[in-house]
Every structure is written in structure tokens, then in C-alpha cells.
Amino acid sequence: MTKIAILGYGTIGSGVAKVIKENKNIVSGNAGDDIEVVKILDLRDFPGDENEKLVTHDYEEIVSDPEIDIVVETMGGTKPAFDFVKRALLAGKSVCTSNKALVADHGTELIQIAKDKNVKFYFEASVGGGIPILRPLRTCIVADEVESIRGILNGTTNFILTKMDRDGASYEDVLKEAQKLGYAEADPTADVEGHDTCRKIAILTALAYGAQVDFQDIDTKGISDITSEDMAYAKKLGRQIKLLGLSRRENGKLYALVSPYMLDESDALYSVSGVFNAITVKGNMLGDVMFYGQGAGKEATASAVVTDIIETVKKRGQKLDINWSADKLTVESSDKLSDRFFVRVKESDADVITAFNGAERIEGVVSGEVGFITKSLTYEEFTAKLGAKTPISVIRYA
Ligand code: HSE
């Protein structure tokens, strides 16, 4: 019997209890041992809930209980999650978490402690919700040099962009709907400004290259200034606007970026819509592989956490198999990353297009302005050519 405690009985934490109960035989069969939730930490009480008797408000009861082998952290945020997780690992307990902020901020240190204590620290659900992506990165795509990772990593923003495209609705209206449906996190800033995607691409990149990536080094732009007019241009061009997190190795340098992109129909990420996520990984031998599924949601995310619990039980006593050293990877500025750019300017500024050799002009979408698409150039070169002109909007164009 493996006894576990859950920290945080919200959407994901209660989902973990549900998966363990409803898939009891599958879970114990795959783990080779019965798994039992014996304690749940939360500030709240849950009268009438089937697990109400397991609830405690005191973390000491969990961290000092020698019978608890695995701590599941589904609280989110770093305070007090970091302190709780660190103490659990130091006490010789394995930890499985869905918390991307925790992993992006403290992954290097927590992995090192887990290795020192010969316990596990797994975090599959922190990126892509239920999509198996971290396990393939650390155990399957290991004979390759990863050339690039590109993903739609945030369900809320993908839902908003899909709705804006399909219904012609404004950003503000669709954001309100996303909040009503419970997709957006308590503070939507993390989703819409790309911070959530930034932490996820930092984790993916760290795992792909086996070293620390500071998420603060990744230039991040969200979707809050995407308008119905941008959508109208995308439609005319047969494109979809998607928020991408990407990292790419070029000439020995590592680039990483979070930014909206206008994607062509032939792009694997073009038709990923609604709250779904997808990630493409390109290996130098493997070529492109793609992972697709529910990037958020109670059961899907909990399923990934329970898979980590199963792996922890199966690998009890073995060394933690995560290659993620404290060596910090240098992330180049995205100003040096080449792309094509879609640009809108006022009609009175349209002469700037002549500075962009071979640019494709788009007219007749919004009155009083002109759109154009540049050839591939770095953002630095792009702004130099724009000179003093202020564009109405600029979106990377893949
Ligand atoms: N707010 C996140 C999303 C939840 O919308 O994708 C999953 O990390």
C-alpha cells in the first residue's frame, strides 16, 4: 500500500482523488501496489464531500507522518507551495505536482534535492495539462538533438482566439465568457499576457536541453492587444492567429519566445482550436512529432498527475531520471530571431512599405489603413526599417 497526501483540494486535487478512486484497479495494476489518499491539506472544510474526514489544515500532520510516501501538490503558485514541497522532499517523500510556477521558479533546486534524497519529483501536468509531453521529452526523444519546440500551451488564450475568429467577437467580450466558463485562472493576466505560456516553454526547453532556463529571459507578449481588425486580416489571408511558446536552436544559439503568430493552413498548429493544446518537437534525426490534447481541465490534468504517482511507485528506490542541471542556458533576445511580420499602418504612413523589399501589400480590409507582410528578417532589422513610423499592429507571420 502506498499512502499519499494531496496539498490543495481544488479542481486538480479533487480530480486526483477521483482518478485514484474511479480507476482504482487500473492505477494499482499499473503501479504494482494499491494507492490510497490518506490526507488532504486545504484551508477550507468540505462538509458532505466523500473525503471530508481526510482534510487537515495543518501541514505538519503530513510532513511528519512517516507513512506518507508521496505528496501531491496541486495548490498552484509558489507560496506556500515551494516551502511545502521542499520540506516534503527533505523529509524523504516523493512529490508529484501540476504547478508550472513552482517548477519554472524552483525546478533546478527541487530536482537536486530529490536526487540527493533519492526520491522523485515529477511534474508532467505542469505543461499541457493531460498531454503526455514531459515524459516523452525525458524518456523517448533522447537520441536526438532537439532543434525546436513550438506549442499552443495555454487553453484560455486559444479559446479566446478561436472564439474571436469564429464569432467575430471582441477580445473583451470573449475574455468575459472564458472567465464565466472557468477557463481563465483567478487572475487572467497570467493567461492573456503569456506568462503561463512563458513558464511552460521554459520547462519544456529546460527538459529538452537538460539545463536550467530562466523564464525571465524569455521575451513574452500575450494576446491582450489582438483586435477584431487583426482577425479580419487573418481571415482574408486564410490564417489563424495563435499564441505560441517556442524555443529553437540556430547556429549553436538558443532562442525562446512567447508571441502571437499568424499561422498558415499547412502549419500543424493551425487547426488546434478551443481549449486544446498542442506541441510540436523537432529532433535532428526524428523530424517533427506532435502532441495534442486537453491542456487544462480537472480529469485530464489529474490523469497526468496520477501517471506521475504510478511512475513514482514503480521506480521506488531508483535514481530520479530527469536530466536538468543547474547550468543556466543563455537565451538570446528575440530581437535577433528571424520571422516574417504582418503589419498594419495608417494610410498616411503607407510609404514605409517601400523600405521592405518584396513586402506583400493587403488593402481593403479596414478603411484608412494598409496591411503588409514582410519577407523574413529579424525584429531588430524590422524596427530599423520602420524608422519613426508607429504601426497599428505587428504580428509574427509563420
Ligand atoms: N490557465 C491554464 C490554461 C491552465 O488556460 O491553459 C492550465 O495550465
How high does pLDDT run on average in the chain?
Answer: 96
Judge whether 242 counts as a catalytic residue. no
User: Which residues line the pocket of ligand 1, CB cutoff 6 A?
Assistant: 129, 154-156, 183, 185, 191, 196, 295-296
- How far apart CA 211 and CA 198 sit, in angstroms, is 16
Q: Tens digit of pLDDT for each residue in 264-307? A: 999 999 999 999 999 999 999 999 999 999 998 899 999 999 99
Pairing of strands 253-263, 331-332: parallel
Query: What residues have CB less than 8 Å from 228, skipping those under 6 apart?
Result: 164, 168, 169, 170, 171
- Report whether pLDDT(92) > 80: yes
Which of 39, 100, 163, 200 is catalytic? The answer is 200
The answer to whether 151 and 204 have CB atoms below 8 angstroms apart is: yes
pLDDT of residue 281: 98
The cell numbers describing 241, all together, are 492567429
Q: Which helix (H) or strand (E) holds 201?
A: helix 195-209
Q: What is the pLDDT of residues 152-194, one digit of tens each?
A: 999 999 999 999 999 999 999 999 888 888 776 667 899 999 9
- Residue 297: per-residue pLDDT: 87
Which residues share a beta bridge with 344?
Answer: 371, 393
Q: Could you report the per-residue pLDDT of 207-260, keeping only the tens digit for each?
A: 999 999 999 999 999 999 999 999 999 999 999 999 999 999 988 999 999 999
Distance (Å, whole) CA 72 – CA 68? 11
CA of 242 to the centre of ligand 1 (A): 15
CB under 8 Å to 369, separation ≥6 — which residues? 344, 345, 346, 347, 392
Q: Which of 11, 131, 161, 183 to mutate for ligand 1's pocket (most ligand atoms within 8 Å of CB)?
A: 183
Q: Are strands 276-283 and 146-152 parallel, antiparallel or unpaired?
A: antiparallel
Distance 380 CA to ligand 1 centre (A): 31
Residue 251 CB neighbours (<10 A): 5
